[in-house]
Homo-oligomer: A and B are copies of this chain.
């Protein structure tokens, strides 16, 4: 996978630029993240590494995710659950999320008109925006057909593959 090697290279460039090092743990994490996952959780990543018998500590997972976010390769997002999710930044494009509270699936969208309207609101309030965070919770098409009911606002049914607890 030459694509992943390019991500690793980009990460190394970022690291070296700050006098930091590309270790085998960091390489393994980048490989895992860009090889498999999409919206994932820190603990899920930790579990996947354990499964593959690649021994990496929780501290390193969190530290590496923080570096990846700083480097711009990964983005940290809220999806309506009580913990963060991460996603790899492909290309660049900002997007927001529709989250199905019945099956946990996530639909991405990028709507320039919506973004524009947000800027207008900020201008009207003399507010200088740097960042925003929008999730729309509801029921996806296939769940609606199956007759799934909208869940209570704050109970999203686990997004992603549900990382299997690691701590005893």
Contacts and interface: CB of A to CB of B under 8 A. Distances in A.
A12 to B, nearest CB: 23
A117 B113 contact: yes
Given A76-B154, A78-B78, A154-B76, A128 B138 contact: yes
Nearest to A119: B136
B131 A127 contact: no
A114 B107 contact: no
Q: SS class of chain A's interface: helix, strand, loop or mixed?
A: mixed
A133 interface: yes
A128 B142 CA distance: 11
Nearest to A78: B78
Contacts of A151: 130
A127 B139 contact: yes
Nearest to A145: B126
Given A117-B117, A133-B80, A127 B122 contact: no
Interface string A75-92: 010101000000000000
A129 B136 contact: yes
A141 B136 CA distance: 28
Given A111-B121, A127-B140, A131-B153, 7 more contacts: A98-B127, A114-B117, A121-B136, A122-B136, A130-B150, A132-B137, A133-B136
